[in-house]
Amino acid sequence: MALYLHVDRTTGQGATMDVARMQAKLGPQWQDWLAENIARGCRHEDLVRVMAENGFDPAFAGAAVAVIGAMTARVREQAPAALVPYAADPIRLPAGSRALAHDREVGFSFVLRNPNVAVIENLLDEDECIELIRLSAGKLKRSEVVDRHGGGFTVSDVRTSEGTYFARGENPIVTLLEARISALTGVPVEHGEPLQILHYEHAGEYRPHHDYFDPAQPGSEAILVRGGQRIATLVMFLNDVPGGGATEFPEIELTVMPRRGCAVYFEYCNQAGELDPRCLHAGRPVTEGEKWVVTKWLRQRPY
């Protein structure tokens, strides 16, 4: 396994010192170098050898690798997303605070780059939100989650909502909303999964999860045949929620409150097909009233 090497030649002597002194002798570049290569799975003896070749005392290098290795193992256990290398592409949304989404102007009240997350204002108007709820009310059933092992769908306590789908172009509002999403993201309408309407009653929630399909899971192969990987999600809020119901991203400590007509958009698959675990997210429990959302998942290829 190849090792990435910094060119500066920091020296150190002796292996018995506290962590603060060790970090001071290493400097930030060598600390980052060690953490990166330990996370990549490089052998500790190889790291010690490279450090020795660059002027470090071998005993000090061995102690430094052991300390940084222990720290990295702790991070891997408590916050694994922090150790996953991911190069975010430029966000697909237009630059600036406002943009034309097909037939209406929308605003961006929040845009984060790397990971790519944005809050979109005014994507739907009040009448459209009310009509989508009305069209959904008579066809709701208990929501399911993807069976990551078998490739099908199953009911789970992870997701305590009811919902339904609208096929692409099923009615004028769906057609219009799909056109807006495509205009904003540049992703063709044909690459989108059907719009999903979700209804959460009191205490309803969707526990932390990823929207992409983990290639390591045995059920993902069958799912990815049609449309490829999911690349982005748009969660659109159809009503104001009196209490709770926020969309939360625990890895980046971001919480988006539900407001009618607004949406939260996030990307988690780049052009190289790499996946961003920092987009772990949850629908927090509704503590007062109810929550209605419409979700759109975008794929790499026509779905």
245-254 residue pLDDT tens: 999 999 999 9
- Give the model's pLDDT for residue 160: 73
- Give the model's pLDDT for residue 5: 36
d(CA 3, CA 15): 23
The pTM is what?
0.72
| Residues in CB range of 230: below 8 A, 6 or more apart | 193, 211, 212, 213, 268, 269, 297, 298, 299
- Give the model's pLDDT for residue 15: 35
18 forms bridges with which residues in the sheet? none
d(CA 118, CA 116): 7
3-state secondary structure of 299: strand
The segments of the chain whose pLDDT lies below 50 read: 1-17
Could you give the dihedral angle defined by the CA atoms of residues 42, 44, 46 and 52, in that order, rounded to the nearest 10 degrees? 140
- Give the model's pLDDT for residue 8: 38
Q: Which of 139, 145, 126, 146 is nearest to 237 (CA)?
A: 126
56-78 b/e with 16+ CB inside 10 Å = b?
bbeebbbbbbebbbeebeeeeee
